[in-house]
């Protein structure tokens, strides 16, 4: 029996593959689109049974080629570019593809654990998994919102586990292929290596520069939550995947810079010292982003807590230190 991981060459997908390998699982069908061929690097150190382009996989699935051979589908594949404007592509790739997988899994009695997104909350300042707080601001968020709505409508008909995980700001290893959409930590480390400086956006919506806050979550925790649900197939639902503790981009910058400095044998600096020394600079927003920018996100973890998930999430400082060290060691 195979575990299928879509988006297997992406950040969360490839970390899932690697974590399953560490648990002795290698009967994995990796599904992705390697048109951006550099993504293959995320799978070089992974052990998989086979690779399928996502379009070929959809055809094979509908033809019944894998009937009785799949034990679970972990659906991480999606176009996550919030600036993408091709609505036809987004809706087919993110929404219709997910619908196809849901129908197959329910027909076969196979668990489906899929990537939802905190982008569903959009302009809301309440981050509870309930429709009154869901206000997507872009077509990416809408594609995820629409699929969550379909999942909700079909709860009564489920023959197997269905779990949607609303990822907040995930950072961590194996994200270089994302380019501009890679995490702020990734870009700060690369900037620091090249210029000795890092950059954040200036203030927005009455919030001071760098004081916009996000729920930054390590990919380690995103993977752990996926695998917990894989091991607890009696539990279904749509859940936030975040630490539940919003932190500022300035906090993120301080943690990143000080981890880089520590590898150079330099002492830690405060935010004020970092700014005074010109290590942190604030830049203007790209055109079209400011009006859709969220100044605050923080996962409400109440549903996960009620479910009994008690694995502690890494703190910002712990997660950033692990990731920055990984990036520096990977050079």
Catalytic residues: 140, 178
Beta-strand pair 70-75/169-171:
unpaired
Question: Whole-angstrom Cα distance, residue 297 to residue 304?
Answer: 17
Beta-strand pair 162-167/237-241:
parallel
Strand order in the sheet with 162-167: 50-53, 28-32, 2-6, 70-75, 112-117, 162-167, 237-241
Question: Of the candidates 187, 174, 180, 171, which has an alpha carbon nearest to the alpha carbon of residue 260?
Answer: 187
- Cβ-based neighbours of 174, under 8 Å, separated by 6 or more: 10, 11, 14, 15, 42, 219
Buried b (16+ CB within 10 A) or exposed e, 206-235: eeebbebbbbbbbbbbbbbbbbbbbeeeee
């Amino acid at each position: 029996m195979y575990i299928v991981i879509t988006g297997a060459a992406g950040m969360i997908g490839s970390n899932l593959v690697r974590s399953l390998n560490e648990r002795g699982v290698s009967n994995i069908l990796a599904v992705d689109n390697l048109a951006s061929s550099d993504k293959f690097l995320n799978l070089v150190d992974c052990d998989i049974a086979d690779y399928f382009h996502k379009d070929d996989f959809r055809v094979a699935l509908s033809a019944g080629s894998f009937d009785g051979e799949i034990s679970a589908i972990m659906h991480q594949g999606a176009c996550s570019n919030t600036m993408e404007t091709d609505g036809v592509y987004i809706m087919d790739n993110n929404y219709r593809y997910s619908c196809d997988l849901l129908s197959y899994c329910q027909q076969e009695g196979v668990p489906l654990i899929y990537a939802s997104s905190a982008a569903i909350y959009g302009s809301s300042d309440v981050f509870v998994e309930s429709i009154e707080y869901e206000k997507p601001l872009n077509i990416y968020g809408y594609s995820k919102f629409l699929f969550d709505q379909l999942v909700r409508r079909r709860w009564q008909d489920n023959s197997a586990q269905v779990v949607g995980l609303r990822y907040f700001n995930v950072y961590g290893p194996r994200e270089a292929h994302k380019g501009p959409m890679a995490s702020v930590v990734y870009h700060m480390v690369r900037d620091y290596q090249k210029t000795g400086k890092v950059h954040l956006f200036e203030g927005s919506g009455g919030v001071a520069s760098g004081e916009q806050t996000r729920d930054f979550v390590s990919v380690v925790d995103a993977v752990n939550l996926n695998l917990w649900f894989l091991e607890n197939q009696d539990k279904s639902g749509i859940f936030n995947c975040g630490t539940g503790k919003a932190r500022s981009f300035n906090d993120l910058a301080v943690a990143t810079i000080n981890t880089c400095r520590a590898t150079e044998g330099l002492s830690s600096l405060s935010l004020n010292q970092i700014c005074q020394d010109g290590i942190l600079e604030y830049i203007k927003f790209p055109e079209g982003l400011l009006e859709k920018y969220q100044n605050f996100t923080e996962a409400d973890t109440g549903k996960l807590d009620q479910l009994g998930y008690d694995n502690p999430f890494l703190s910002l400082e712990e997660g950033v230190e692990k990731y920055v060290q990984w990036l520096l060691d990977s050079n």
